[in-house]
Structure 1
């Protein structure tokens, strides 16, 4: 009996180890729009209620064949180095469909600034664009507990890409076959950030 108990305990430990190894990442990143290096991310972030694609969606083809994407974004969507495109991809449940929705962010190669964010919903054996946000400055979309959260950097004349004047965070929820705005917050950043610190006055 003792040998049987030991064998069962060993099998349970192996099962726990395999379960831990099969756990995936979240897919969406928390750092905000700015990135030091543009890389392609396709880790699934879907809830168990949706079916994550067994193979990565060809996000580059989705964007290039999408009539809702501006010609400027399509023109800028080129490999940065080798065959690596400046694009982020995440999967999750945003629209309540049976398959995972796909969130695509197109970035610039030079400074990884987001220039376009798109949400694709699985329909009829393909994907349909159900959300588009394009900004000349910076925009980045991600999935947050079933909501679509879009972050926009706000720039004033003279601002560098690294130091915007502010930021808007907009939350969207799926309702009646489209996204509606649920919340919006704005932050104005200090002018001292990124600027020169004034020299102390002599006493």
Structure 2
């Protein structure tokens, strides 16, 4: 054992050998107790982090440190999803011969599940204008659509445990390059669905001056 030398010459007294043997037995017992305390795995045996059930607990879940990562075929997921409009599905085609689809996939943990959530943004080819944003949650091994926004131009982002959706808003006489305002909506997962928590509107000044902003919660 570490810190102990050999038994020494053969003429060493029996009492010294007995002391060494007793120390070795105590050390072995201590190692056995430590191994039982860790479960023998060498890793932390913890489940996903959960919000407190007491009043005032946070509405949105904290990211799980033990959650699993699973990659998806985003194109196939959109094509098979009945919640996705036919218009978006028609636009979801390769922009080149290299099967370069106008699609962006982001993974995160927003709904408190044991497997990552998936955010998919679909755009048009060429100008990459967002025409749809969708969030999928793993339910029993299958990804289910739990959020969609198809009022183009639109794009979604994962911000920690929140989902932010940015929309360009046009008045009747607005050109595509000159929207009237930009709206940013922030959603959190609550009671089994995404609920809007914040809204921020930026109004564009048509006279060339500064923009005006307004927020609510």
- Both proteins in one fold, TM over 0.5: yes
SS, match of residue 180 in structure 1: strand
Q: Deviations over 1:100-135 (max 9, x none)?
A: 100000001131111101000011111000001111
- Of 70-79 and 184-193, deviating more is 184-193
Q: Which residue among 67, 77, 83 is the counterpart of 1:50?
A: 67
Tell me which of the two structures has the higher relative contact order, counting C-alpha pairs closer than 8 angstroms and 6 or more residues apart: 1
SS, match of residue 78 in structure 1: coil
| Aligned residue runs from structure 1 range 1-203, under 5 A | 48-53=65-70, 56-82=71-97, 83-135=99-151, 137-192=152-207
SS, match of residue 132 in structure 1: strand
Q: Deviations over 1:136-187 (max 9, x none)?
A: x301111001100000011123333232211000000101110111011111
SS, match of residue 77 in structure 2: helix
Asked if structure 2 preserves the Cα contact closer than 8 Å seen for 1:50 and 1:92, the reply is: no
Normalised TM-score (structure 2): 0.63
SS, match of residue 113 in structure 2: coil
Structure 2 unaligned residues grouped into runs of 5+: 1-62, 209-217
Query: Whole-Å Cα distance in 2 between the matches of residues 143 and 128 of structure 1?
Result: 17
Asked if structure 2 preserves the Cα contact closer than 8 Å seen for 1:90 and 1:103, the reply is: yes
Question: Which 4+ residue blocks in structure 1 deviate beyond 4 angstroms?
Answer: none
SS, match of residue 94 in structure 2: coil
Query: Whole-Å Cα distance in 1 between the matches of residues 138 and 123 of structure 2?
Result: 23
1:47 CA drift (Å): 6.4
- Please say which structure displays the higher CA radius of gyration: 2
Query: Whole-Å Cα distance in 1 between the matches of residues 130 and 180 of structure 2?
Result: 16
Asked if structure 2 preserves the Cα contact closer than 8 Å seen for 1:101 and 1:119, the reply is: yes
Query: Whole-Å Cα distance in 2 between the matches of residues 49 and 171 of structure 1?
Result: 26
Normalised TM-score (structure 1): 0.68
1:49 CA drift (Å): 4.3
Query: Whole-Å Cα distance in 2 between the matches of residues 139 and 85 of structure 1?
Result: 17
Aligned Cα root-mean-square deviation (Å) = 1.5
